[in-house]
Amino acid sequence: MPEATPATTAKRSRAGAEAARYGVLRRLGPALKHDMVVDLQAIAMLVEVLNARLDRGAPDPAEFHESIAKLNRLARSAVAKCLKVAAWIEPGEDEGIKLGDGIAECVQLLASNFNFRGFLVEVQCVDTPLQVSRVVLRNLLIASLVTLTDAAGGPCRVQVQGDVEGNTAVVGVRISPREDDDDGLPYEPTYRRLDWADVQALATAEGVELDRGADHISLRIARQVATAPLQIAPH
């Protein structure tokens, strides 16, 4: 069997990273759908209420205007959330995000799923202005969280730690047994389980240093450097 050339190895590496990104996105599907439809469902319910009031006769003008204003707020919120969900699917131009904010948005997205499954999530992050790539942090942290909880086989304690060493963010995820008897609810992912190969493929593609064990993953992510040209304000 002929030895793999550097070009072939690079192609396989890219393919592995793309497969891992797709796997992460598929596993996020239910959470993203939930975020997207919450305000849309509220809009539909409010429209039904307004229709019922109109069927009963002319509504009170003040109440009617208040309901229209609420409908407008919900519509704006729904648009914002749909755009946010679209950014997970197609990130577009990468941007920096503060380490603590980036960790928080990843954990919040998975919160409902983890609560349902009986995972107790604890987050500790230093207060730092250091920014990392939003896309890199999303992909690697989500993949790490899903991989470790998939491997856990049942409810457990999930600790997410964010720290800084020089110009590098150090993000750790560790699982351990819960001290109580929460069994969670039966769960089977709608797409394949993620594993170490997925996390490693993403780390290699993004140039992130990865350390892993049976119950933990540690990521070292370089500080995001602004590359956009400075804009000169008009006089």
What are the tens digits of pLDDT across the range 210-229? Answer: 999 989 999 999 998 765 44
Q: Report, as an integer, the average pLDDT of 16-28.
A: 91
Long-range contacts formed by 6-14: CB under 8 A, 24+ apart: 13/201, 13/204, 13/205, 14/205
Q: Which of the two residues, 200 and 57, has the higher pLDDT score?
A: 200
**In the structure, what pLDDT confidence band is assigned to residue 185 with cuts at 50, 70 and 90?**
low
What are the tens digits of pLDDT across the range 83-133? Answer: 888 888 887 777 899 999 999 999 999 998 898 888 999 999 999 999 999
From the options 3.40.50.300, 3.30.565.10, 3.40.33.10, 3.30.70.20, give the CATH code of 96-222.
Answer: 3.30.565.10
**In the structure, what pLDDT confidence band is assigned to residue 231 with cuts at 50, 70 and 90?**
very low
Q: What is the pTM of this model?
A: 0.81
**In the structure, what pLDDT confidence band is assigned to residue 67 with cuts at 50, 70 and 90?**
confident
Q: Which of the two residues, 230 and 95, has the higher pLDDT score?
A: 95
d(CA 163, CA 218): 11
**In the structure, what pLDDT confidence band is assigned to residue 209 with cuts at 50, 70 and 90?**
very high
